[in-house]
Structure 1
């Protein structure tokens, strides 16, 4: 199978760098074909702007830039910046996608968010499908990435208890919800439970060996692990076009948990 690893850490000698190398070797040993988008090594441009459209690079100075509309025009006309088009080709190629990153300020590093902003062009990863009183686009369980799997590998400096249901940082599932449900499930990925490593500064040789054992098992099972059971938007659980859960679906439950069956 084809696997794309999108990697966002600036230091190759870091724990993240070591885990990335381990993951590639483990996946290849299992017979998978792996591509790595090492965003820092690629010097990935993080900001979405008019330069992402080859046509807009020579636009009149008084022409208004519209991120959504201009992204769509560039995608549909084949006039996107080459770096964007190449990453989209990798996503089309992949059967599974892994996003690996350190948790910085409760989210992914800016360079990885910029990869999403630019690669997820309108017409490619969003803004697709029929919008009517019966459907509201191909998204949240449908879309361009339907049939593909995705998983996060995340490192965090804090203790696991800091990210527990009553921990000061809030539950890790809640922190990762915008990424897993929004960035991955939205365009159709089946999203696997994340692999999260806590208290990274306390990693010695013995602990690292155990981490590799656990991560290796997750990678071995990447095409067998049951995905997070997010509710599909157009599956009947949501009133359309309000896009709110029907009153009889998980009554009394609010927040992120309501969107998991």
Structure 2
């Protein structure tokens, strides 16, 4: 691995979500931080459990919201975001995202999704006026957070075949679609193919070594690998009703694959 030149040096935010500091996820977080720093990049870490991150959105997130007024979360978050009056922990995480050239989410897959604490980070940090809403560019395009790369690094107890096209759990791309497409691409970030460690409940040293080697290669390609080629909302593929126009897909394409460019 060659050290990055000044022009190539990037800023990377790693968000880690596992309660055990001796876990595989913690080890992968440590590896990623050390690997990226050794390559000359600047890295910040948000360890959500160590931070005791508050997961639930409530009125305390918006200090200026009147106590006697009904809480409409989207409207309140937009007012507070645009006024610079969000709760300090939210504002600090938004500053990290703005600072970054790439965001990496490291987590164990629990019940086919991210842990609640990471979902709460998403819910609270990506406010209206920051990640979406009428005051920022349209979603599913080069939107509010355009110019950033995004990578999911997930561990799961199931074997890889269970997340295949005929696997009982469904394709990994479909399971992670709400984050890949519904968070990253919705806000304008370019998501890469996820990195996954399967059968992770009991990982012998040889497989951990192999996993680190594979993860290192993905980290080396963080800014050069092609992102998932999701269609843009403003690229002419969708009608005013936000439905894909007839004939835009290749014959036989169905489901979530409709929203990926067919040339991919």
Contact 2:57 2:123 in 1 (8 A): yes
Q: Which residue in the other structure is 1:230 paired with?
A: 230
Alpha-carbon shift at residue 128 of structure 1 (Å): 3.6
Name the TM-score, length of structure 1 as normaliser: 0.93
CA distance in 1, matches of 2:135, 2:52: 33
CA shift, 1:217, in A, is 0.7
Tell me the SS of whatever aligns to 1:235: coil
Q: CA deviation at 1:53?
A: 0.7
- 2-structure distance, mates of 1:129, 1:42: 30
- Residue 126 (structure 1) shift: 0.7
Is 2:247 the counterpart of 1:248? yes
Cα pair 1:129 1:138 within 8 Å, conserved: no
Is the aligned partner of 1:33 residue 2:42? Answer: yes
1:18-75 Cα deviation digits (max 9, x unpaired) = 111011000000000000000010000100111101112xx334x2111110111111
4+ long deviations beyond 6 Å: none
Root mean square deviation of aligned Cα:
1.2
Post-superposition CA distance 1:150-186 (Å, at most 9, x none)? 0100000001111111111111110001110001000
Task: Trace 1:57-136 onto structure 2 (pairs within 5 A).
Answer: 59-61=66-68, 63-128=69-134
Tell me by how many angstroms 1:129 deviates: 5.2
Is 1:53–1:80's contact at 8 Å kept on the other side of the alignment? Answer: yes
2:164 & 2:254 partners in 1: Cα distance? 19
Gaps of 5+ in 1: 131-136
Q: Is the 8 A contact 2:156 2:201 kept in 1?
A: no
What is the CA distance between 1:80 and its match in structure 2?
0.5
Kindly state the Cα deviation for residue 252 of structure 1 after the two structures are TM-superposed: 4.9
Task: Return the alpha-carbon distance in structure 2 between the equivalents of residues 212 and 161 of structure 1.
Answer: 21
How far 1:142 sits from its partner (Å)? Answer: 2.1
Q: In the aligned structure 1, how far is the partner of 2:190 from the partner of 2:134?
A: 18
Counterpart mapping for 1:94-243 below 5 A:
94-128=100-134, 138-240=138-240, 242-243=241-242
TM-score, with structure 2 as normaliser = 0.92
Q: Which has the higher helix share?
A: 1
Please give the alpha-carbon distance, in whole angstroms, between the structure 2 residues aligned to 1:30 and 1:141.
30
- 2: CA distance, partners of 1:19 / 1:100: 8
Aligned counterpart for 1:23 among listed residues 32, 36, 50: 32
Equivalence for 2:58: 49
In structure 1, how many angstroms separate the alpha carbons of the residues matched to 2:212 and 2:253? 37
Residues 160 and 198 of structure 2 are in contact (CA less than 8 Å); yes or no, is this contact kept in structure 1?
yes
1:2 pairs with one of 11, 26, 39: 11
Q: Secondary structure at the match of 1:245?
A: coil
